[in-house]
Structure 1
Amino acid sequence: MRPWRRIFHPVMALITIQLVWITVVVFWIYWFIGKHREFRELARKYRPELLGEGFNWPVMAEGLVMLVLILAGVYVIFVYWNRQSRLYTQQRSFISQVTHELKSPLASIQLHLETIRLRSLPKEKLDTFVDTMLADTERLHYLINNLLMAARLEQRRKPAERRLTDLSALLEERVERERDKLPQGGNISLESEPGIKVVVDPEEMGMVLRNLFENAILYSPGSPDISVRLMRSKGIACLSIQDNGRGLEKKELKRVFDMFYRVRSAGENVRGTGLGLYIVYSIMRDNGGAVIVESEGLGKGCTFTITLPTA
């Protein structure tokens, strides 16, 4: 980091401003008391009837209140500046990550197509290439859908097409798809009460499930162990997805649903855009539901729980 950036870091700026205002207040009090004494001496000498009783505290208090209000305004400006600076940094990281997420599968597809064009491959090898390209295409499709969904949720120009949906069936279908994509040794166990119906947009609910599973798999070790449980209680559908991943610290629990926020640790290079959990939170909020995350700390996994009123 350059020296001038260290000097003008937001925290240093706030500390500097605080020190400057403390100095101003001290000198103002000193100046005010001095002038007040001079005025009293002149009044005592020339016009004793102008002398009041005691110190003029109301004027002193008014000045201090004005200084406090100015200081409060400076603090509000600093908080806003700090938030905007953090958002700008996250947006830059987001653009870089999206660029990488787009280029990687495209480069893979191009490489496989060029190989197919230049060589005569046996059927087994050709089938493997086709499967890889389909997986890369699915990855691009997922990324584009997330980008479009995030934009739609921000603006909400298109209303959600909610209808009666069998959440149990939707979950079972998603679990089967995710099992096919698990690395060797990975496992997803499912405990689901059948026939739980909710009023949601099936496309949006499918994206909620996809993002939760994607998050659980990406942040789990080489062999993810994911437990899924769907139950109904007192008119509420409750779905929990528990993983054996890296877990979260307390400070991360508060921000994990923020747009562009990504959990990062030294040595980790997990792909993603920081939109998945934001999409989950926004969709659940818009459908009258809720989502929470629990974790006992780093290395102890996470449990995401979503709730929705049943139909």
Structure 2
Amino acid sequence: MSIGRLRGGYCVYWTGPNGKRTRRQLAARGRKEAEAEAVEVYRAATFASRPKDPTVAEIWTAYVSDLGDKPTATTMHYTGKAVLPFFGVYRPADINKPLCIQYSDERSQQGKSQGTVWTELGHLQSALNFHYGKGKAPTIWRPAKPQSDKRILDRGEARALIEAAHDPHIRLALILLLGTAARVGAVLDLTWERVDFERGTINLRVDGSETRKGRAVVPMNASTRAALDVAHSAALSDYVVEYAGGKVGSIRKGVSNAIERAGIGHLRIHDLRHTAAVTMLAGGVPIEKVAQVLGHSNIAVTYSNYGRYLPEHMQDAVNILDFMNLRGAV
């Protein structure tokens, strides 16, 4: 199936199994609209007897509705702003690799990263999996997942960042992020009833929470306990990280200001979790324990994300490969 020009507009044409060429005029006046209309015209002419699947837009809406108030629903709302204008009018059977590559190229021309495109097309796959069932849905082509550019702070940089936080709630949040390896959402959701000073533990889990991301129950270290003691004595709400007696919705601006004052260069909030994970591993903590602190349900996730930061753990293995050293011979 191809799109061409006809009488000042667009047309769709194709060659059937019998070699006969068919051409149909399209009503669309723009190229993007013509592409979507062409698919419908072609399907109507060649697969008239086949039941009509819902469009991607209809499937996407049903999936978001089914998610309810899960955090994923909010994420799908934002990625849908990019995915639906392109794929919304298509039906799943019409989506193929060339179409996905075209989407990837257009998003790249708009200045979006390969990682962003990978995520957006992944959400399209999730919507189709919801509709058809995983393993039965059409496979959506995606560009290769890029290696993340994790920024790992050393101890001096981490200390400088905390000291550069002028607002008490930002300072406390940074101490918790680095001291528990938690995600920012878990820290902002934390309430005092889940801080057990007697046992010295912090329960980052929320009863009944349907978040996809694992959360852990972690012990307090000395610095975290000291910061929590001070904050608890001055608490005005149920939330550990609070501002003006209420829950904090975002610490992005406060953390950005602290990063600038600390002079430690580019850093994302989530890099604090990476810093905590790599620091534990570099300190000799078994990766099984690190996985537990991070809330990973599968240790393979921990290996995948952080194994490459510890090449020294493979030293004994490559020492065996020192063929010029006779002492290494078996």
The TM-score normalised by the length of structure 2 is 0.23
Higher relative contact order (CA closer than 8 Å, sequence separation 6+): 1
**Structure (1 or 2) with the larger CA radius of gyration:** 1
